[in-house]
Structure 1
Amino acid sequence: MSLLADHNLFETRRQFFSRGKNALGYAALTSLLGEGLARQATASSSGAAASGLGPHFAPKAKRVIYLHMVGGPSQMDLFDYKPGMREWYDKDLPASIRNGQRLTTMTSGQARFPIAPSKYEFSQVGQCGMWLNTELLPHLGTCADDICWMRSLHTEAINHEPAITAMQTGNQITGRPCLGSWASYGLGSMNQNLPSFVVMVATPTNREQEQAISSRLWSSGFLPGEHAGVSFRSKGDPILFINNPPGVPSSVRRRTLDGLNALNELNYNLVGDPETHTRIKQYEMAFRMQASVPELTDISKEPEHIYKLYGEEARKPGTFANSVLMARRLTERGVRFVQIYHNNWDHHSNVNGRMPAQCKDVDQPCAALIHDLKQRGMFDDTLIIWGGEFGRTIYSQGGLTKTNYGRDHHPRCFSMWMAGGGAAGGHIHGETDEFSYNIVKDPLHIRDFHATILNLLGYNHDRFTFKFQGLDSKLTGVEPARVVKELIA
């Protein structure tokens, strides 16, 4: 059986009609324009598609560093100051505040919902006057006027799996492209020797209750496969199998790839399978990374003042500080989108014991990244995003003592921040009620958040689409979304 016949045997109905529509369309075009003009029109259309996408308008951000705190940071312990809650210690959350809203099964059976006010000290920082937990985030406080603070995000997802999927892909159901893949698809690469989208998973100091995460979060979904995130490891080779096996010189690897690519090109030209095209690109990228990645990941030549800026933890592979320093090196070399996941923010218990370690991991490196990008002239066109998939409850999950309490998931309001890349530094967006339970001013759905990020990257979210299952699919989905102008400088 021939290769084409074998491919057609397993061709789906959708692939068949997709292939057939081109023939029908060409026939119709020929009847209208004639053979010569039809060929010119087809060639012109193919050339436009081959030239790749570009932004709809001038972008403010050329690259993104997304710092995702896996588990859902407690907004009232970090950014949403509620001093009045100290008078409510161990009193029940009023039923009028909860108003019958959905709870997780972890607290829905509780007889009481005792208020657990934050034990940490807050102070106003910067000209913007942001109330911040400066006891645990002193370094971040020095950057207050560079940061756009958002205290009114909300989502429908109440459990981790759908919530983190929605935050990364715009949909609670897995299988759709993540934000990094959309950025890669739209903006392309600025360095042919490195991927346009890189992912790192930082190891937290405290590993008491980590959430499982997997490569589905940096999948390209229905976009071409080359736009999936490339995961960099903290131990051993940064990327699996990037180095040649013992005894195999680079020249042999090059000849092997040339042969594979020639076969794949024959296959692609014959059947037009997009996965074959992805494979060709990935083989070539892997070969080029053999030269570029070792230099990239060798941070030994960074000057001492950089380690003083980021902290000594930046010398240790796999730490959050090291990952953030690596993110700066990646974006400096042309990577469009870097995603860092930092785990153990799922504080169902022992907030007092875990929160200091979490904040120590992220505080100095985040502030250092802002200062470092500014001194390199990269801050204005590099967008930094920090946040989790939802917030936490003001009431304690389980028991409540002065030294130990926990917080359940809370999707109705949570806090995030952005800096650089056109974000409105010093702006404080949104307000919540005195319990940090409901939004009372400027609600910000994650669809609006995604639309705003795409706007900073130069895209109209309604026009930035990809044809999938008969729909013009987009990151912001089918429900209305808006760009929040107040978040843009």
Structure 2
Amino acid sequence: MEKEFLEHGLHLNRRKFLSRLSLGIGSAALGSLLIPDLFSGLSGDSGADFIPGIPNFAPKAKRIIYLFQDGAPSQLESFDYKPKLREMMGQELPASIRGSQILTGMTANQKSFPLAGSYYDFKQYGRHGAWVSDLFPHIGSIADDICIIKSIYTEAINHDPALTFFQTGAQQGNRPSMGSWVSYGLGSENKNLPAFTVLLSKGKGNGQGVYSKLWSNGFLDSIHQGVLFSSSENPVLYLNNPEGLDRNERRKMLDKLAELNDISANEFHDPEITAKVQQYEMAYRMQTAVPDIMDVSKESDDIVKMYGPECLVPGTYAANCLLARKLSENGVRFVQLYHQGWDQHTNLPMEMAGQARDVDQASAALVTDLKQRGLLDETLVIWGGEFGRTNYSQGKLEKANYGRDHHPRCFCVWMAGGGVTPGMVYGETDDFGYNITQNPVHVHDFHATVLNQMGIDHTKLTFKSLGRRYRLTDVAGNVVRDIIS
């Protein structure tokens, strides 16, 4: 009897074991279908708390469109209304307000710091009366759909380190960009398109350059590098087949190349070899996907009217906003748009007006377009630059002709969709628009919040390189939960 009981117990254990094993295999199979990158052999030591391709928790957003305004638009002529600056126009900035802030070399030797009120009026928009400059009436019209953060700050005071900081979480180069981190963390939604794409446009104002280190993969595998789209006849360089090579021959060539690379990968165990094979395959698949996405001829007249006629001109900001929607709609995780020309050290009223005309209508149209397609809830749209501008004039002050120097202590960014509370104004600055008085948000906090909306715990998204684990937020950053709906 005892022997039969033991055998029965062993039989039940085997049955339970095999049953549970089958469930495990089924779950793994399902996971490989839902998350194709799950078993792709991604390299690097990311720590026990993070597995590439799997969010840490349920995400609010699936994709990001970042409308980066390169050169730093003035918060005082956009979303931070300061009537006191007009009242005190030309008066000296109180030393108690300026404190010990480090100034750039362009104003450090100024003997006077005359306050400069905005040349443009502001109006209140939306249910909560958000103040928006007359330069941005279209963005004002979507005030109930966006969250304006007025209390962003950074330590960087010059363009290159500040821009690099916003894009990579570090002021020095050779670090993965935010888009690369998202690509590494979540993988791709569409195997025919890269997870991370980059679009460039340029206004008529003074520009600061953008450079490939801003969309670099850094120490991550090169498959996570941003893919730059151009406005030329060939939007992605070297994507087309060489003359005399058709698609079938291209397929044979790639298969043979993959065989040779497999031999090298097995011999040298270099993950970059595998990454290169993946890039070749991606380029092959993009040959059919990209031309269809770049074709705007099928867009309705209503969409063209919404974005403005420039959306039909390749390389313009409006065209890139429309393209960003199409890329995001087709599963690109991170679309990074850079619009250059916001560096107004002189003649700010005239130059900024031109820049605003370039971006106002199309920025608002993108949010509206995503909303009416039912995509805004799962798409996080971000708009802003690398720092703000001073409340005093750089050089001579005239009512219709003044400029503003760099100001990292406080500036504005707005966000829409992706689980961010709409119709909200967060943070506050003093009456002079010089210092934050309520709810400061550091760049690391901003990054932590963006990753949070994508279902990623920023403290767990790490990658080991040169003996230490790195992350986008370095060793800092707190999620700004007050702005999350």
TM-score, normalization: structure 1?
Answer: 0.88
Cα offset, 1:443, TM superposition: 0.6
Give the CA deviation at 1:248: 1.7
Deviation at 1:213, TM superposition (A): 1.1
The whole-number CA distance in structure 2 between the counterparts of 1:427 and 1:296 is: 33
Paired residues for 1:234-249 under 5 Å: 234-249=231-246
Matches within 5 A, 1:60-79: 60-79=60-79
Match for residue 346 of structure 2 among 349, 359, 372? 349
Q: Secondary structure at the match of 1:301?
A: coil
Alignment of structure 1 residues 44-443 onto 2, 5 Å: 52-133=52-133, 135-204=134-203, 206=204, 208-443=205-440
Write the mapping of 1:474-489 to structure 2, written as runs, cut at 5 A.
Answer: 474-478=471-475, 480-489=476-485
How many angstroms apart in 2 are the aligned matches of 1:436 and 1:61?
32
- Is the 2:390–2:404 contact (alpha carbons within 8 Å) kept by the matching residues of 1? yes
Where 1:467 maps in the other structure, the secondary structure is strand
What's the TM-score, normalizing by structure 2? 0.89
The alignment's C-alpha RMSD in Å is 1.4
- Following superposition, the deviation at residue 109 of structure 1 comes to 0.6
Match for residue 469 of structure 1 among 451, 466, 470: 466
CA contact (8 A) 2:86 2:117 kept: yes
The runs of 5 or more residues in structure 2 that have no matched partner are 1-27, 29-37, 43-50
| Equivalent-residue separation in structure 1 for 2:92 and 2:190 (angstroms) | 56
* Displacement of 1:371: 1.0
CA distance in 2, matches of 1:419, 1:52: 26
Residue 278 of structure 1 aligns to a residue whose secondary structure is helix
Deviation of the 1:53 alpha carbon: 2.5
Is the Cα–Cα contact under 8 Å of residues 202 and 341 in structure 2 kept in the other structure? no
Residue 49 of structure 1 deviates from its aligned partner by: 5.6
Kindly provide the amino acid, as one letter, of the partner of residue 428 in structure 2. E
Structure 1 residues 52 and 80: alpha-carbon distance in aligned structure 2, compared to 1, 3 A threshold: closer
**Counterpart position of 2:23:** none
Give the superposition deviation at 1:48.
9.3
Deviation at 1:100, TM superposition (A): 2.2
CA contact (8 A) 2:150 2:411 kept: yes
Amino acid at match of 1:484: V
Q: Percent identity?
A: 53
SS of the aligned residue for 1:299 comes to: coil
Displacement of 1:246 after TM fit? 2.2
SS of 2:274's partner is helix
Q: More deviation in 469-478 or 313-322?
A: 469-478
Q: Tell me the distance in 2 between the aligned counterparts of 1:89 and 1:387.
A: 26
Letter in 2 for 1:302: E
Q: Is the 8 A contact 2:150 2:410 kept in 1?
A: yes
Q: Secondary structure at the match of 1:199?
A: strand
Any stretches of 5+ residues in structure 1 without a counterpart?
A: 1-43
Q: CA deviation at 1:47?
A: 5.7
Helix, strand or coil for the counterpart of 2:152?
strand
Structure 2 residue identity aligned to 1:395:
Y
Letter in 2 for 1:280: V
* Distance in structure 2 (CA, Å) of the matches to 1:47 and 1:189: 13
Q: Secondary structure at the match of 2:131?
A: strand
Which is worse superposed, 119-128 or 245-254? 245-254
Taking the aligned partners of 1:184 and 1:146, their CA distance within structure 2 comes to: 27
Q: Hey, what's the Cα distance between the residues in 1 that align with 2:216 and 2:247?
A: 30
| Residue aligned with 2:445, SS | helix
- Equivalent-residue separation in structure 1 for 2:167 and 2:202 (angstroms): 20
SS at match of 1:300: coil
**2: CA distance between counterparts of 1:92 and 1:263?**
70
Shift of 1:381: 0.5
SS at match of 1:342: strand
Distance in 1, Cα, partners of 2:115 & 2:92: 6
1:420-460 CA-partner distances (Å, limit 9, x unpaired): 00111111111111111110111110111110111100011
Structure 1 residue matching 2:149: 3-state secondary structure = strand
How many correspondences in the alignment? 441
Deviation, 1:185, is 0.7
Per-residue CA distance 1:367-414 (angstroms, 9 max, x = gap)? 111111111110100000000000000101111112211000000001
Q: Which amino acid letter does the alignment assign opposite residue 444 of structure 1?
A: V
> How do 1:10-29 residues align onto structure 2 when only pairs under 5 Å count?
none
Looking at structure 2, the residues matched to 476 and 458 of structure 1 have their Cα atoms a distance apart, in angstroms, of 15
Give the Cα separation in 1 of the matches to 2:390 and 2:114. Answer: 10
CA contact (8 A) 2:324 2:335 kept: yes
